[in-house]
Structure 1
Amino acid sequence: MLKNKKFMSLLAAVMVFALVLTGCGQGADQGGGTTEGKDSIIVGQGADAKSLDPHATNDQPSSRVMKQIYNTLVTANEEMEIVEGLAEKWEQTDDKTWEFTLRKGVKFHNGEELKASDVKFTLDRMLASDQVKAIVEAIDTVEAPEDYKVVIKLKEPFGPILHHLSHTAASILNEKAVTASGDNYGQEPVGTGPFKFVSWQSGDRIELEANADYFEGAPKINKLTFRNITEGTNRTIALETGEIDIAYDIEPIDKPKVRDNNKLELIEEPSLSIAYIGFNFNKEPFNKKEVRQAINHAINRNDIITAVLNGAGEEAGAPIGPRVFGHNPNIKPYEYSVEKAKELLKQAGLENGFTTTIWTNDNPVRVQIAQIVQAQLKEIGIDVSIETLEWGSYLDRTSRGEHDMFILGWVSVTGDADYGLYNLYHSSAKGGAGNRTFFENAKVDELLEKGRVATDASEREKIYFEAQEIIVEESPVANLYYQTQNVGMQSGIQGFKLHPAGHHRLYGVSY
């Protein structure tokens, strides 16, 4: 139930905002027509890719495109099971050594054959990247003793190494192509995947074409296009008119339109994602725990889930969700209490509140969350202004620590607590690697490092339970909700499956 008149007014404002977006969407190009026998598919998503170099970024829109261009050594399927990728078999020869046997005859899009030297080049390059090295930091050395044999030696035993090697950031590159392109590689990628890069109109679309020589067989479609359609309502309109075939992340207000349209289909499942508000530890007054905890108490998460998500989310307590190994179910969401929030501000010497900013990218759901949080924090004397940035600029500037507060999400892509916690809360991952709060806690660092090398599942779980308790107490973020994920598509689409990590594989999709 809606709790009070203030919330009713806020909900009305959010609905007006949504209606404005709907009005803006009326200018979308009109499509339609028959889809039978189409040999191309257009996908709409909420932001353009930042780069198609797997080592230059670790954001969702980029990863969703890269998933089609590249392959990894091993693959995590839709059930998060590890299956063959570019490696046809592998074995662990001791607690720190893994040997992989590559498929023979696999060709990169430039015609070069995949060799073990490409794998070594890729993983060495990944280890040198500040953006993604944390994903494979457990690796000590990579050797290529034979053309089709790769030996990976770890610094210490590391249980989830195969899931980390299935991450899109660990996509295997061709050394010759990367060297030839130099700094431009992110705009002219070369992989082994089912689709080859054709062109990129920045801010608009990325064009891919079928790789007829793909080692699993040619795709069922000849052309795949990713469209950047920032406004969620415009994505839905594009889907309704047939301008696009698949729309990622249908917004809550638009889901009934898709669900009730017999020409469309909506699929929705729980994900590995969490949405949160981060606080910059390097800026006052967010260096005070009482301030961070006060904001946590001042946020009514249920109101956000009701007003913005139409109920499609679960209030978040622990910093990783229930589908992620190591999730601590004993941690409950911060209690919504204006009184407690005001008392904590008083303890921090800020009884009269303060002025600050909250950043979001140009994502309508996040903008609406910012508006609700702005109103809620006003009740405890915090005057918040909202700044909306373009996605690439948002990632760059938050990685440099220019913000006060920011709204983001994190996907525990590997399904393991290490990935869900290390990148966001270990001091070595500050900035673009994931820790955009610039949080640092020696005990948390120690526990996350222990969790990486422990091999017993129950021991790892105990370690991660403790780490999460400290993180929630220190409050570098306000965990908002565990997210569901959805996709809307034309009813004639066949072969599409949601991936829990959100990087949906489009090989095998057709009309």
Structure 2
Amino acid sequence: MKKLVMISFIVALITLVACSEQSNESEGNIATEQTSGGDLVVDLSSAPVSLDPHAANDGNSLYVMSAIYDTLVFLDKDLTLKPGLAESYEQIEDTVWQLKLRQGIEFHDGTPFNAEVVKVNFDRIFDEDVASPVGFLFDMVTNVEVIDEYTVHIETEFPFVALPAHLAHPAGHMISKEAIEADYEAMENGEPPFAYVNENPIGTGYFKYESSIPGEAVTLTKNEDYWDVKANVDKVTFKVVPEDLTRIAELQTKEADIIYPVNPNDIKQLEDTDGTAVQQSDSSNLTYIGFNLEVEPFTDKRVRHAITMAIDKEELIDGIVDGVALPAQGFLAPTVYGYSDDLTPLTYDVEEAKRLLAEAGYADGFQATILTTDLRSNINIAEYAQAQLAPLGIDLSIQIAEQGAYLDATAQGNHELFVGSWGTVTLDADYGLYGMFHSSNIGAPGNRSFIQNDEVDALLEAARKEMDEATRLELYKEVQQLLVDEAPLVPVYHSILLAGLRDNVEGYFQYPSSFLFLRDVELKE
């Protein structure tokens, strides 16, 4: 049976804080009949960079870790923030949040979850010797205080209304205190930070770590002692299958139950195959072509404008993703709080692009290299840019790297142009813009264009401190327009998430951030 499912999300995150004092009655502590069982196989395009929540912020790492760990606050399938490991959270002062923790929860190693564990996790994120690449998510936090065994206060430098959304990010996954202490011991013995936890990931999640084959697969087993609704399947194996067509073949031959991502050009093939279907979901992602603003000629805004105006987004979307995407006018998807549809974008205009290049001293063009991962759609974007820029005299070479090498290169500034993507995991503009464009986040945290702009920084800082909703939205609109004008990257499209499923897979859900939610998945006979 063929079906194409479109899940539409309407996000209004300003309601989230209003819900912060409720208990998690709709999702947690509800007995459900476990009828499925079986072993689930999920094919991913790349291996996780790490299984340590404080070490990685790439999609494939987060897909796996989200099944192993829990957060203090979580986003439910209605895209509403709910208490997670914290049974309640409340902003008791402008700069103080109180979290009451659930009692009786144990980590996979049998150790208790409590306030001291929360403090140890945050202390590690802030530890300069550890140098967590996700520390920017909590850089407004000044202190985490243990009030009693199950109460913590989180103090912030300024009023920060988006803190619950940040606590729901996978960077806020809670790791066993014993695992963290073992990781520090390993560091003292010469191991790099994160090595122990990566090999011994211990959370409180609905699956627990069983084994891994580096670069090939990670296997998790059902946590029979899970504190909330238990997983339906007995085991899940995340297989690394880089080639799009190989993932499709494995789905068609029942070697895989779920594959992600699916290339838009392959939708019809799966829809025409008996026993397989494609699930489409709205995303909070941005796919873009980025510039390294520290490398000439991309230091010149006119050059960046010229390249932006030489890219026909509509044609690119129709040709590369079969029209299955939303053209991006700015940097936030419509699913994100703070999105504005009232921006003045740089429009497709080849003649103006040529004029700007000539004005900048590049009438005859120049040579440059565009870096991309080995994902087929990204390679296609690089090839499209290569063709579109050739009439301007820009001779673009394409460099293809596997995910890890790509992340290292763009973090260290060893690139000129690059094809990138960013998912606003929190569904709040602070994460969508501050992480990508504030000068404090250059490199691995997210600012891979290396933009350093005082006005951008000031607006982003003002917006994250603002408590009035209307003023905060206006600040985000202003900074988005400024970024359009500065053009540190070419916003290309907001993707539609495409996952391939066997027809016997039920209960699969994918967040706009692209995270897979596998707890409710069942394998029907």
Counterpart AA for 1:434: G
How far off its partner does 1:487 sit? Answer: 1.3
Q: Counterpart in 1 of 2:38?
A: 39
Q: Counterpart in 2 of 1:33?
A: none
How far off its partner does 1:154 sit? Answer: 1.2
Of 133, 136, 139, 1:137 maps to 139
How far off its partner does 1:333 sit? Answer: 4.1
Moved more, 392-401 or 252-261: 252-261
Q: Counterpart in 2 of 1:373?
A: 385
Of 382, 388, 404, 2:400 maps to 388
How far off its partner does 1:348 sit? Answer: 0.8
Q: Counterpart in 2 of 1:468?
A: 480
Residue pairs, 1:282-293, within 5 angstroms: 282-293=294-305
CA contact (8 A) 2:36 2:233 kept: no
Q: Counterpart in 2 of 1:506?
A: 518
Counterpart AA for 2:78: E
**SS at the partner of 2:516?**
coil
Of 244, 248, 251, 2:260 maps to 248
In 1, the alpha carbon distance for the partners of 2:344 and 2:45 equals 31
**SS at the partner of 2:351?**
helix
Q: Does 1:192 align with 2:192?
A: no
Q: Counterpart in 1 of 2:30?
A: none
CA contact (8 A) 1:374 1:384 kept: yes
Q: Counterpart in 2 of 1:494?
A: 506
In 2, the alpha carbon distance for the partners of 1:170 and 1:396 equals 23
In 1, the alpha carbon distance for the partners of 2:87 and 2:122 equals 18
How far off its partner does 1:187 sit? Answer: 2.5
In 2, the alpha carbon distance for the partners of 1:78 and 1:374 equals 40
CA contact (8 A) 1:327 1:465 kept: yes
CA contact (8 A) 2:36 2:232 kept: no
RMSD over aligned CA atoms reads 1.3
In 2, the alpha carbon distance for the partners of 1:202 and 1:383 equals 38
Q: Counterpart in 2 of 1:89?
A: 88
Counterpart AA for 2:307: I
**SS at the partner of 1:225?**
strand
Q: Counterpart in 1 of 2:152?
A: 150
CA contact (8 A) 1:315 1:333 kept: no
Q: Does 1:436 align with 2:448?
A: yes
Residue pairs, 1:274-285, within 5 angstroms: 274-285=286-297
How far off its partner does 1:428 sit? Answer: 0.2
Residue pairs, 1:47-446, within 5 angstroms: 47-128=46-127, 129-181=131-183, 182=186, 183-446=195-458
In 2, the alpha carbon distance for the partners of 1:188 and 1:378 equals 49
CA contact (8 A) 1:412 1:501 kept: yes
Moved more, 66-75 or 300-309: 300-309
In 2, the alpha carbon distance for the partners of 1:153 and 1:308 equals 47
In 2, the alpha carbon distance for the partners of 1:120 and 1:327 equals 33
In 1, the alpha carbon distance for the partners of 2:345 and 2:443 equals 26
How far off its partner does 1:78 sit? Answer: 2.2
Q: Deviations over 1:348-375 (max 9, x none)?
A: 1111110000000110100011111101
Q: Does 1:448 align with 2:448?
A: no
In 1, the alpha carbon distance for the partners of 2:283 and 2:125 equals 26
How far off its partner does 1:219 sit? Answer: 2.1
Moved more, 101-110 or 67-76: 101-110
How far off its partner does 1:252 sit? Answer: 0.9
How far off its partner does 1:130 sit? Answer: 4.5
CA contact (8 A) 2:286 2:332 kept: yes
Moved more, 316-325 or 289-298: 316-325
**SS at the partner of 1:318?**
coil
Structure 1 244/333 Cα, relative in aligned 2: closer, same or farther at 3 Å?
Answer: farther
Q: Deviations over 1:302-327 (max 9, x none)?
A: 12101110001111111111111111
Q: Deviations over 1:411-448 (max 9, x none)?
A: 11111110000011000000000001110110110000
**SS at the partner of 2:164?**
helix
CA contact (8 A) 1:110 1:177 kept: no
Counterpart AA for 2:71: T
In 2, the alpha carbon distance for the partners of 1:466 and 1:180 equals 46
Q: Which runs of 4+ in 1 moved over 6 A?
A: none
Q: What stretches of structure 2 of length at least 5 have no aligned partner? A: 1-34, 187-194
Q: Does 1:477 align with 2:477?
A: no
In 1, the alpha carbon distance for the partners of 2:100 and 2:273 equals 48
How far off its partner does 1:37 sit? Answer: 6.1
In 1, the alpha carbon distance for the partners of 2:71 and 2:44 equals 23
CA contact (8 A) 1:96 1:155 kept: yes
Aligned length: 476
In 2, the alpha carbon distance for the partners of 1:477 and 1:267 equals 30
CA contact (8 A) 2:206 2:223 kept: yes
CA contact (8 A) 1:273 1:321 kept: yes
How far off its partner does 1:262 sit? Answer: 4.0
How far off its partner does 1:124 sit? Answer: 2.1
**SS at the partner of 1:379?**
helix
In 2, the alpha carbon distance for the partners of 1:486 and 1:156 equals 39
In 2, the alpha carbon distance for the partners of 1:335 and 1:354 equals 22
In 2, the alpha carbon distance for the partners of 1:150 and 1:258 equals 49
**SS at the partner of 2:361?**
coil
Q: Deviations over 1:71-124 (max 9, x none)?
A: 000101122201121011122211111111111111111110111111111122
CA contact (8 A) 1:325 1:416 kept: yes
TM-score (norm 1): 0.91
In 2, the alpha carbon distance for the partners of 1:300 and 1:334 equals 11
Counterpart AA for 1:490: R
Counterpart AA for 1:485: L
CA contact (8 A) 2:433 2:460 kept: yes
How far off its partner does 1:217 sit? Answer: 4.5
CA contact (8 A) 1:43 1:227 kept: yes
Q: What stretches of structure 1 of length at least 5 have no aligned partner? A: 1-35
CA contact (8 A) 1:77 1:499 kept: no
CA contact (8 A) 2:56 2:133 kept: yes
In 2, the alpha carbon distance for the partners of 1:214 and 1:190 equals 13
Moved more, 146-155 or 212-221: 212-221
How far off its partner does 1:300 sit? Answer: 1.1
Moved more, 176-185 or 105-114: 176-185
Q: Deviations over 1:241-268 (max 9, x none)?
A: 1010001121111111222334123210
Structure 1 268/322 Cα, relative in aligned 2: closer, same or farther at 3 Å?
Answer: same
